[in-house]
Structure 1
Amino acid sequence: MDIQWENIIKFSMSPIEIVIRGTLTYWFIFILLRLAGRRDVGSLGIADLLVVVLIADAAQNAMAGEYKAVPDGMVLIATIVFWSFVVDRVAFAFPIVRPFLMPPKLCLVKDGQLQRRAMRRESITSDELASELRQKGVEDISEVRRAYLEPDGSVSVIKNTGE
């Protein structure tokens, strides 16, 4: 049983094709998830999850031999990491494009009142929001001055000052 090193370290497809495939896949999934909303209340952000899933899949293909060579997987992983880095940097450097790349915070509670339109837009039930508020130490919604769904899917709470 001989190891065929040439098959392991030689590209089995054009690196340019791998970069194009990786770029198209990244942007398709990014846009799809961005349009789908932030249904991931209190969990990882969509972009974080996207990068983890794509890297895991790309690495699995390279290791399992679905690609013919390891460098194929390496180029795809580098492409995915590159786009993740670019999206973060562009959102930081150019505030005008930030709303397209990262959703703005969304007010869910205002002066103790549920903002049902915002909740409906993100498909958040009253029970889910109540659970998030309890985790923040809020027993009654009247204690909340503002509660926001943050871009990463977490809920932040500003309590009334007791005036």
Structure 2
Amino acid sequence: MEFFQSVLFCEALCVILSTLVVFLFSFFILRILGKRRLSRLTYLDLLLVIILGAASGNAMIYRDDVSSLIYSIAAITVIGIFVKVLDEITQKYKWINAWLIGDVRLVIYNGEIVKSALKKESINEEELLALLRGKGFDSPKNVERAYLEIDGELSVIAKEEETPPIKK
């Protein structure tokens, strides 16, 4: 019985140490990538979260030997470098940014829903109206322009005769 307790203790200690190493290293990489990653997620940011989770999860849980920890740290490093390079490229070339990250799209103009924009963004009118209600507008007729931002948020400009909604 004592043998199992010592084996379980050693395995638990290895999992704890691997988890701490991967957490601290991932934290370091995310700090290098910058605060922009903390704001609303784009597709690229969401993909980064998923891949980092997969790479770090393996090292924290599966403890075959030290190589799994080294492989995870290598994967996290490569991901971090790739995302940093991609950020630099998308800052320099706006067309690449628009292609990879997306672009702001006008979805309501002068009180009318721009249906072609909804089709390009793969959302329907009900989803747009729900976003609009979330901004305090009960109808597109009260809206001069509304933009679907790259993070999925809706920016609304009220018609001049309308007063912006007051949050209670």
Q: Is this a same-fold pair by TM over 0.5?
A: yes
Moved more, 127-136 or 66-75: 66-75
1:107 alignment partner AA: L
Distance 2:149 2:64 in 1: 39
Q: Deviations over 1:100-125 (max 9, x none)?
A: 22211111111110111111222211
Q: CA deviation at 1:68?
A: 4.0
After superposition, the Cα gap between the structure-2 partners of 1:67 and 1:48, relative to the gap in structure 1 and judged at 3 Å, is: farther
Cα-Cα RMSD: 2.5
What is the TM-score normalised by the length of structure 1? 0.68
One-letter amino acid of the counterpart of residue 64, structure 1: I
Please name the residue that 2:122 is paired with.
123
Q: Give % identity.
A: 29
Match of 1:45 in 2: 42
Give matches, 1:141-160, under 5 Å: 141-160=140-159
The one of the two structures with greater contact order (alpha-carbon pairs below 8 A, sep at least 6) is 1
Partner of 2:100 in structure 1?
Answer: 101
Name the aligned partner's letter for residue 157 of structure 1: V
C-alpha displacement of 1:151: 1.4
Unaligned regions of 5+ residues in structure 1, if any?
A: 9-42
- Aligned-partner Cα distance in 2 for 1:129–1:66: 47
1:106/1:148 contact within 8 Å kept: yes
Q: Provide the TM-score with structure 2 as the length reference.
A: 0.66
CA contact (8 A) 1:67 1:73 kept: no
Matches within 5 A, 1:9-158: 44-65=41-62, 68-69=65-66, 70-158=69-157
Structure 1 residue ranges, 4+ long, deviating more than 6 angstroms after superposition? none
1:53-107 Cα deviation digits (max 9, x unpaired): 1000000111222774311101101111222222222111222432222211111
| Alpha-carbon spacing, 1:96–1:111, altered in 2? closer, same or farther (3 Å) | same
Q: Which runs of 5+ in 2 are unaligned?
A: 1-5, 16-39, 163-168
Greater C-alpha Rg:
2
Higher helix share: 2
Number of aligned residues: 127
1:46 maps to a residue whose letter is Y
Contact 1:104 1:150 in 2 (8 A): yes
Asked if structure 2 preserves the Cα contact closer than 8 Å seen for 1:106 and 1:118, the reply is yes
Offset, 1:48:
1.4
